[in-house]
C-alpha cells in the first residue's frame, strides 16, 4: 500500500490543564475525502493546527507521504504539503486577488521591482488552470464567501499542496453554493487532491466523503468507510449516547396572550415591505437562503442597521431605528450571525462576556462582585453544557461551538423579552444543538418571544410558524408541521403547488 498522504500518530496536546488531544491520530490515504467529526471541543481544530504546522504536538508525530513533517519554522515547506481553508478568511481584503495569490512571491523585474502586469497575468492563468472564474484585479474584499474559498484552494494548489483541509466549508453557503463546492471537490479529487473535511452537517459527510474519523473527548474513537457506518452509529460514536433531534412543535398559543413584537412596514436594504406580529412565548422562524434578506431583517429589528422604512415595537415601545442601545433597553437580546465581529471579546473570560450586558446583576452595594459574576456565569455554563474549566477561562480558549454557547448565554443572562437568533446552531455539534434549542424552549415558556432567523431545518423545527423569504419577499408562511421538502422548496423559490 502506498504511504498515507498524512498520518498523525499518538498525538497529545495540552493547553494548561486542558488535554485537547490524548494520544489521538488519523490516517488519510491518497485520493480520499476523509471526514473528521466530533462534538464541540473534541479536538478537531487542535489536530488541524498540528497537521498544518501551526502548533507542535507535545507528544506524537506527523508524517506526509511517509516522511517526517518539516520543522515548524519552515513555512514554505508546510505550504507545499497542506493548506486549510478556514471559516474565517485568510485573504487580505485590501489587496487584489492577484496580490493575495502571489503575496511574498511576486515576480520581480531586473531592477528588483515588482512586475505588476506579470503578476496579474500569472494569477489569472493560475485561476483559469483551476477553473476559478474570478478577475484577478478585483479587490479581495469584493469576493463572495464561495469565491474566497475557491481562491484560497487555488492558492494552496499553486504552492504544490495536494492535501487540503476544509473546515466547515458550507457554513456560509446557500444550497446552490454548496452544490458548486461539492462539484469542485469532486473535480479536484479526480485530479488527485486529497481532502480532510470537517463538518457538523452529517448529511454532507454521507454525500461527499468516503472515510470518516470520529474524535471524542480528545481521543480517536473510530475510522470507517462512510458507507459502512449508519447515521445512528456515527452519532453514537460522537456523543457516546443516542441522540434524537426535537420533533416539530405543534402548540396553540391562546388568543389572550399579548402581542409582544410588532414589525410594521419594515423595508431593509434587501427586503420588500415586511410586517409581522408575534405573541409572548411564540417562536417565529424567518427562513431563507443566501440573498433572501433574512439577516437584514434581523439586523434591522435589533437596531444593528437602520431600515429604510417601518417600525419595530416591543411591548408597546417603539424602538429607535438603528439603535442597539435602545433595543437592549427595550429588552431585546441577540445571537448575531458573526460572533467574531459582533459577539464576543476573546481575551475576556466567559464570566465577563456573559455578564457584559447585565452589569447591575453582578454588583453588590454598587461594586462589582466577582463572586456574583462567577455564579451567574457558572449557571450559564451548566445550563448550556459549555465545555470549560470554569467561568474565568478566556473565551478565546474555547472551541468554536462552545463560544457560540457563550453568545447565547449572554443573550439569555439579560432575561430578554424578545430574543433574536441568527443561525444559532452554526458550528454546533448534534448534542449541543439539542441543548441550545432546549434552552430556547425554556425561555419561550417563560414568555420570551423568539425570532429564529436561519436556513437550518433543525433550528426552524422549534418554531410555531415560519415566514419564508426569497429575494426579499415573504413567499410563504408555514405553520408547524411543514415537511422538509416544502420548506426547502420555498427557500429555493420553488412553488411546489405549481410544479
Ligand atoms: N489556545 C488554547 N488554549 C486553551 N485551551 C484550548 C486552546 N485551544 C483549544 N483549547 C481547548 O482544547 C479543547 C479542544 O478544542 P478544539 O478547538 O480542538 O475543539 P473542536 O473539536 O475543534 O471543537 P468545535 O467543533 O467546537 O470547533 C477544548 O477544550 C478547548 O477549550
**Measured distance CA(332)–CA(324) in Å, rounded:** 9
CB-ligand 1 contact for 20 (6 Å cutoff) = yes
Q: State residue 242's pLDDT score.
A: 64
Query: What pLDDT, on the 0 to 100 scale, is given for residue 487?
Result: 87
Give yes or no for residue 45 CB within 6 A of ligand 1.
yes
Q: What tens digit of pLDDT does each residue of 192-236 get?
A: 999 999 998 888 999 999 999 999 999 999 999 999 998 888 888
Report the pLDDT averaged over residues 471-486: 88
> Ligand 1: which of 88, 397, 399 to mutate, most ligand atoms within 8 Å of CB?
399
Strands (DSSP E) contained in 2-54 are 6-15, 18-28, 33-38
- For ligand 1, the distance from its centroid to the CA atom of residue 200, given in whole angstroms, is 15
CA distance linking residue 378 with residue 374, whole number of Å: 6
Cβ of 84 below 6 Å from ligand 1? no
Burial degree of 241 (CB within 10 A; 0-12, 13-18, 19+): exposed
Instruction: Count CB atoms within 10 A of the CB of residue 90.
Output: 12
From ligand 1's centre to the CA of 388, what distance in Å?
9
Backbone dihedral region of 147: left (phi > 0), alpha (psi from -120 to 50 degrees) or beta?
A: alpha
In CATH terms, are 6-91+143-239 and 259-498 the same topology?
Answer: yes
Q: Is the dihedral of CA 168, 169, 172, 175 positive or negative?
A: negative
pLDDT in tens, 394-434: 999 998 889 989 999 999 988 899 999 998 888 788 888 88
List the strands of the sheet with 194-198, edge to edge: 83-85, 163-167, 194-198, 33-38, 211-216, 219-225
Spatial CB neighbours of 325, under 8 Å, sequence gap ≥ 6 = 303
Any ligand 1 atom below 6 A from CB of 213: no
* Ligand 1 center from residue 176 Cα (angstroms): 31
Answer for the pair 185, 33: CB distance below 8 angstroms, yes or no: yes
The residue whose C-alpha atom lies closest to atom 31 belonging to ligand 1 is 398
Angle made by CA atoms 28, 43, 335, in degrees to the nearest 5:
120
Domain boundaries, the chain: 6-91+143-239, 259-498
CATH class of 6-91+143-239: alpha beta
How far away, in angstroms, is 397 Cα from ligand 1 center? 7
Q: What is the ipTM of this complex?
A: 0.96
In this structure, CATH architecture of domain 259-498: 3-Layer(aba) Sandwich (3.40)
Q: Give the residue, by CA position, lying nearest to ligand 1 atom 17.
A: 399
Rg (CA), the chain: 24
**pLDDT the model gives residue 46:** 96
pLDDT tens sequence across 27-65: 999 999 999 999 888 999 999 999 999 999 999 999 999
Q: What is the DSSP string of 413-479?
A: HT--SEEEEESTTTT--HHHHHHHHHHHHHHHHTT-EEEEEES-HHHHTT-SEEEEEETTEEEEEEE
From ligand 1's centre to the CA of 46, what distance in Å? 6
Cα(283) to centroid of ligand 1, in Å? 32
- Does the Cβ of 397 fall within 6 Å of ligand 1? yes
Nearest one of 54, 47, 51, 53 to 13, comparing CA atoms: 47
Amino acid at each position: 500500500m502506498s504511504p498515507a498522504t498524512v498520518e498523525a500518530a499518538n498525538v497529545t496536546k495540552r493547553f494548561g490543564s486542558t488535554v485537547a488531544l490524548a494520544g489521538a491520530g488519523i490516517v488519510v490515504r491518497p485520493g480520499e475525502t476523509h471526514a473528521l467529526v466530533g462534538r464541540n471541543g473534541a479536538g478537531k481544530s487542535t489536530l488541524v493546527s498540528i497537521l498544518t504546522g501551526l502548533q507542535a504536538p507535545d507528544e506524537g508525530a506527523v508524517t506526509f507521504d511517509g516522511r517526517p513533517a518539516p520543522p515548524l519554522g519552515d513555512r514554505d515547506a508546510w505550504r507545499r504539503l497542506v493548506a486549510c481553508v478556514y471559516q474565517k478568511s485568510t485573504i487580505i481584503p485590501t489587496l487584489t486577488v492577484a496580490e493575495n495569490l502571489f503575496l511574498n512571491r511576486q515576480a520581480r523585474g531586473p531592477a528588483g521591482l515588482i512586475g505588476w502586469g506579470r503578476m496579474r497575468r500569472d494569477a489569472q492563468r493560475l485561476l483559469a488552470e483551476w477553473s476559478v472564474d474570478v478577475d484577478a484585479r478585483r479587490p479581495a474584499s469584493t469576493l463572495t464567501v464561495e469565491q474566497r474559498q475557491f481562491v484560497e484552494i487555488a492558492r494552496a494548489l499553486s504552492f504544490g499542496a495536494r492535501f487540503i483541509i476544509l473546515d466547515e466549508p458550507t457554513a456560509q453557503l446557500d444550497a446552490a453554493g454548496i452544490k458548486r463546492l461539492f462539484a469542485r471537490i469532486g473535480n479536484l479529487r479526480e485530479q488527485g487532491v486529497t481532502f480532510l473535511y470537517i463538518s457538523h452537517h452529517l448529511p454532507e459527510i454521507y454525500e461527499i466523503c468516503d472515510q470518516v474519523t470520529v474524535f471524542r473527548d480528545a481521543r480517536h474513537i473510530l475510522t470507517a468507510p462512510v458507507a459502512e457506518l449508519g447515521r445512528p452509529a456515527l452519532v453514537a460514536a460522537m456523543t457516546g449516547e443516542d441522540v434524537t433531534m426535537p420533533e416539530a412543535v405543534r402548540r396553540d398559543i391562546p388568543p389572550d396572550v399579548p402581542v409582544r413584537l410588532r414589525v410594521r412596514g419594515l423595508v431593509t436594504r434587501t427586503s420588500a415591505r415586511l410586517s409581522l406580529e408575534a405573541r409572548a412565548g411564540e417562536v417565529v422562524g424567518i427562513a431563507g437562503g443566501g440573498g433572501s434578506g433574512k439577516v437584514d431583517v434581523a439586523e434591522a429589528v435589533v437596531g444593528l442597521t437602520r431600515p429604510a422604512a417601518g417600525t419595530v415595537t416591543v411591548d408597546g415601545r417603539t424602538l429607535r431605528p438603528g439603535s442597539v442601545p435602545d433595543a437592549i433597553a427595550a429588552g431585546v437580546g441577540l445571537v448575531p450571525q458573526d460572533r467574531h465581529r459582533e459577539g464576543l471579546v476573546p481575551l475576556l473570560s466567559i464570566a465577563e462576556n456573559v455578564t457584559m450586558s447585565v452589569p447591575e446583576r453582578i454588583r453588590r452595594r454598587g461594586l462589582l462582585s466577582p463572586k456574583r459574576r462567577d455564579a451567574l456565569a457558572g449557571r450559564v455554563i451548566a445550563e448550556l453544557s459549555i465545555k470549560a474549566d470554569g467561568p474565568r477561562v478566556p473565551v478565546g480558549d474555547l472551541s468554536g461551538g462552545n463560544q457560540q454557547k457563550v453568545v447565547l448565554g449572554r443573550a439569555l443572562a439579560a432575561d430578554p423579552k424578545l430574543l433574536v437568533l441568527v443561525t444559532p446552531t452554526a458550528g454546533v455539534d448534534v448534542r449541543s444543538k439539542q441543548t441550545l434549542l432546549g434552552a430556547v424552549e425554556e425561555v419561550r415558556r417563560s414568555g420570551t418571544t423568539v425570532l429564529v432567523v436561519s436556513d437550518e431545518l433543525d433550528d426552524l423545527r422549534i418554531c410555531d410558524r415560519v415566514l419564508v423569504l426569497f429575494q426579499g419577499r415573504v413567499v410563504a408562511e408555514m405553520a408547524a408541521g411543514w415537511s422538509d421538502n416544502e420548506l426547502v422548496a420555498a427557500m429555493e423559490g420553488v412553488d411546489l403547488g405549481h410544479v
